[in-house]
Amino acid sequence: MEIFVDSANVEEIKEIISWGIVDGCTTNPKIASMEKGKGFEENTREIIKLVKGPVSVEVTTNDLQEMLAEGRKYTSWGKNVVVKVPMGISGLKATKIFKEEGIKTNVTACMSVSQAILAAKSGAEYASLFYSRIGDMGYNPTRVVEESVRMFNVSNVKTKIIVGSIRHLMQIIEAGLAGAHILTIPPQFLYQMAKNPKTDESINEFLEAWKGYKNK
């Protein structure tokens, strides 16, 4: 299982990379728009240089020709860029064209097994399932991930399933156990994963014992 950091904040990403746990990064127009003080291209280029693995950069349109123009521009920013395109007919068309041009894609906002299948068939490198938003519709997101993974395995599909839209810590475990190839996780949950009050209690106990021993 791979872990991507779901962020467009350069300092956050830099810090989490230093932990040695980052395999890639995903961004989207919403989180990119939260980064004030510098332009989208400047900020994104910094992320692309920082991250050694794939960086998903999302198009900001549903128009096919505009998607293609944006995606081609993004790929000129770095060899590790993956063009993130929206699920839908225009997105599938763009994915097919990008595949023919040797450009990797991440089809985003997939909410069902059937959408994940279409993303894979169109040539996507990644299909992103939105875990919490699937749950918002009243469906079982764990089952959607499990069935998508099973369908890909049965058909020998090479497309990797990314699970995003994480809203609490247990969803990370659930999605991982469901077989997700990649979890894209917001920084606040990565910090939560590293912390446990019993861990802190244990380490402090050891340090206090050592301090008492060392001072004898």
Q: Measured over all CA atoms, what is the biggest interatomic distance in the chain, rounded to whole angstroms?
A: 74
Buried b (16+ CB within 10 A) or exposed e, 130-166: bbebbbeeeeebbebbbbbbebbeeeebebbbbbbbb
Whether 84 is catalytic: yes
CA-based angle 176:177:181, to the nearest 5? Answer: 40
Contact assessment for residue 175 and residue 131, using Cβ atoms and an 8 Å cutoff:
yes
Which of 84, 93, 158, 211 is labelled catalytic? 84
> Which residues are part of the catalytic machinery?
84
